[in-house]
Amino acid sequence: MLSSLQDNLGVYNGYSWGSAYVRVANQEKVVEYEDPLFQERFGNNVGQPCYRFWRRRSPCKGCVSEKALISKRPESKEETAKDGRVYLMTSVPVCLNGQWSTIETIKDVTEAKVGLDILQIIASSLDIRRVYNLISLELKKVIEFDRMSMTVLDEMGEGTVETFVLTKGYRHTELKEGTHYPLSGSLLEKLMHTRAPVLVDDTLTPVVETDRILLREGIRSRFSFPLEYKGQIIGSLNFGSKRPGSFKESHARLLNHIAPQLAIAVENTRLFRKIKDSEERYRTLVDSFPHLFFTRKKEGAFSLLSPSVKTITGYRPQEFYARSTLMDSLIYPEDAGRVKAELAVVWDGSSPSSRNLEYRISHKEGRTVWLSQDSYPVRDPRGKIVCLECLCRDITEAKKIEEIKDNLMRDVTHELKTPLAKMEMTLQLFGRVLTEGRETDGEKRRQIYHTLFNNLYRLKRSVQNILDLSSLESGHVKLKKEEVVLREVLTSAIREIEEEAGQKALKLLVSLPKEIPPLLGDREKLFHAVMNLLDNSIKYTDKGAVTISARVLSGQVEVTVSDTGRGMEKALLNRVFERFVQESPAFVGSGIGLSLCKKILEGHGGKIWAESEGKNKGAIFHFTLPVAASKEKN
């Protein structure tokens, strides 16, 4: 009866069982029939144990035929043969005259299996390198290649190709991952035209330009498969083999399955890379951003805070994340209300944004920091404002400069307007005296004269100082370099100040050496410097004397002006000269005279400093100037 089964099956000799092979085995696992295609491929095994096909010496573990004979139902199982190929075995039990046999179909599913596995691999990871390596291992099972690469069209530069990922084996070529090369003449270019796989059977008879290069590298046959994404060719999967004719049409069928998935994976990777790049760029920008950037929710919580917050406030970002009220507690109480009100109109949507909101905060170290904040609302898809994006610039320096400018402006105004005001008021007094027709006593007349005289001179000096200062500051006017006789400068200044000193009944004590070596410099400016110094001493001395002395040192001359006046506290000694660099002036109304004095002296390579034993203990000002190099005597 078995033979009749064989005969029956024999009828179908030459019939393809859906690309499966068919054989019949008896209960003793002895092959009784094999279809001719089976024998063509694997040789004649009739009369041999069925497991011989698997090149085994004993029955297979979990043999499907055995199972089928027990269950009396068809059973199937995938088996990997010694050659590495995967077969799907299906065993159907049949009983003929009480004799059980099995009809086995054996189907080579290697490629389908590889395809499926590859799809799984692609789906399993976002890491394209890992995916690629696993794919290349899988493909090795079905395609004979020595190397494999994936190239993609460069997104940035039109007409270039980027090598995306490579298998090993490119050691002797210049191709590396990330290498860009021209699209023109490449296999990918050909693919883009044909949109079909390109097969080069033997690079000895080149099909594409690059075949010659590959031939030099020992590659004899090539195969390239297009990667298509949303109707666009985005790249290709390429194989190279040292053997000619390694690639077949059947390989294309397999790749047809996996290429679309691979293309998606490539696109995802590129997208992922792009997002990561832009995220990194954003992060770098935020990290290195000198200004403070933060987003804050309505209830005050921070959702983002740039690291610069540490420099600006002295507190770490974590401290703000942990306690969002920290920020509000840093704001000056005087400014807090204004800040809150200004931001409230952004929160309720009545103002589209808030710009240049200036306020003060206390730095962790206690100093004042001025911020200028821009705030923009961020809305959810329904238009509701969910947080504010804020950018704060540290404008402390600018504020300092503004304050210095304001102070300077105030001093200049004060210095010019005060003598003018007093002259006007003196003249009013004089007018009253005249209209009242009274005989004014000599004392009153003298007083009126002195007040007019003093204030006129004060005004004159103030105007001169302002002109000097603006010319020195602008840098347009340079100090002259003429020979200056310092003794003469000092005596003329003393002469000019004599009258004022006399009015205050101050003694002017002068002690100058007979010979002071000449200097090189600007006579007029040095005169102004000395005048300012003397003027300052007289202004702040109510009784006693102002002493002017000088001594010649090696290479320089030192001039000392000491008074018995109001003096100053030690802390002020350096600051009296620093009208323009200090946040708050040494004292209001200290004027610009001493700063100008310092500027002029330093412009001549000199130095100025002050000494005082304290308040009401007088002050001593010293300055030094280098003398001109003595002329060689012939």
Residues at the contact surface with other proteins, assessed by CB under 8 A: 406, 409-410, 413-414, 417-418, 420-422, 424-426, 428-429, 432, 447, 451, 454-455, 566, 587-589
Q: What angle do CA 391, 394, 399 make, to 5 degrees?
A: 130
> Which residue, 159 or 589, is less far from other proteins as judged by CB?
589
Query: 3-class DSSP state for residue 286?
Result: helix
> Which residue, 555 or 589, is less far from other proteins as judged by CB?
589
> Which residue, 589 or 605, is less far from other proteins as judged by CB?
589
Residue 407 Cβ vs other proteins, minimum distance, rounded to whole Å: 9
| Tally of CB atoms within 10 A around 8 | 9
Residue 616 Cβ vs other proteins, minimum distance, rounded to whole Å: 11
CB neighbour class for 487 (10 Å; exposed up to 12, middle 13-18, buried from 19): middle
Contact between 19 and 38 under an 8 Å Cβ cutoff? The reply is no
d(CA 135, CA 120): 10
> Which residue, 102 or 454, is less far from other proteins as judged by CB?
454
Query: 3-class DSSP state for residue 415?
Result: helix
Residue 406 Cβ vs other proteins, minimum distance, rounded to whole Å: 5
> Which residue, 212 or 417, is less far from other proteins as judged by CB?
417
Residue 515 Cβ vs other proteins, minimum distance, rounded to whole Å: 40
> Which residue, 389 or 403, is less far from other proteins as judged by CB?
403
Contact between 567 and 618 under an 8 Å Cβ cutoff? The reply is yes
In which element (H, E) is residue 147 found?
Answer: strand 147-153
> Which residue, 345 or 409, is less far from other proteins as judged by CB?
409
Residue 443 Cβ vs other proteins, minimum distance, rounded to whole Å: 12
Return all residues near 241 (Cβ < 8 A) that are at least 6 apart. 144, 145, 146, 219, 220, 221, 222, 223, 247
Residue 498 Cβ vs other proteins, minimum distance, rounded to whole Å: 19
Contact between 544 and 504 under an 8 Å Cβ cutoff? The reply is no
> Which residue, 406 or 613, is less far from other proteins as judged by CB?
406
> Which residue, 224 or 407, is less far from other proteins as judged by CB?
407
Closest CA to 555 of 496, 606, 484: 606
Residue 465 Cβ vs other proteins, minimum distance, rounded to whole Å: 17
Return all residues near 196 (Cβ < 8 A) that are at least 6 apart. 226
Which 8-state DSSP code applies to residue 481? -
> Which residue, 196 or 409, is less far from other proteins as judged by CB?
409
Contact between 311 and 367 under an 8 Å Cβ cutoff? The reply is no
CB neighbour class for 571 (10 Å; exposed up to 12, middle 13-18, buried from 19): exposed
Amino acid at 511: S
Residue entry with tokens 């064989």: 6
> Which residue, 40 or 499, is less far from other proteins as judged by CB?
499
Closest CA to 266 of 389, 426, 153, 168: 153
Where are the alpha helices (H) located in 352-510, listed in sequence order? 396-435, 442-474, 486-503
Where are the alpha helices (H) located in 304-395, listed in sequence order? 309-313, 317-322, 325-330, 333-347
> Which residue, 433 or 477, is less far from other proteins as judged by CB?
433
> Which residue, 139 or 610, is less far from other proteins as judged by CB?
610
Angle (deg, nearest 10), helices 486-503 and 442-474: 140
Residue 402 Cβ vs other proteins, minimum distance, rounded to whole Å: 10
Residue 429 Cβ vs other proteins, minimum distance, rounded to whole Å: 6
Residue 426 Cβ vs other proteins, minimum distance, rounded to whole Å: 7
d(CA 410, CA 401): 14
Residue 460 zone, left/alpha/beta (φ > 0; ψ -120 to 50; rest): alpha
Evaluated on CA atoms 122, 125, 126, 127, the torsion sign reads negative
Residue 475 Cβ vs other proteins, minimum distance, rounded to whole Å: 27
Residue 346 Cβ vs other proteins, minimum distance, rounded to whole Å: 28
Residue 536 Cβ vs other proteins, minimum distance, rounded to whole Å: 13
Contact between 610 and 597 under an 8 Å Cβ cutoff? The reply is no
* Pair of tokens at residue 387: 């947080």
> Which residue, 28 or 436, is less far from other proteins as judged by CB?
436
Residue 568 Cβ vs other proteins, minimum distance, rounded to whole Å: 9
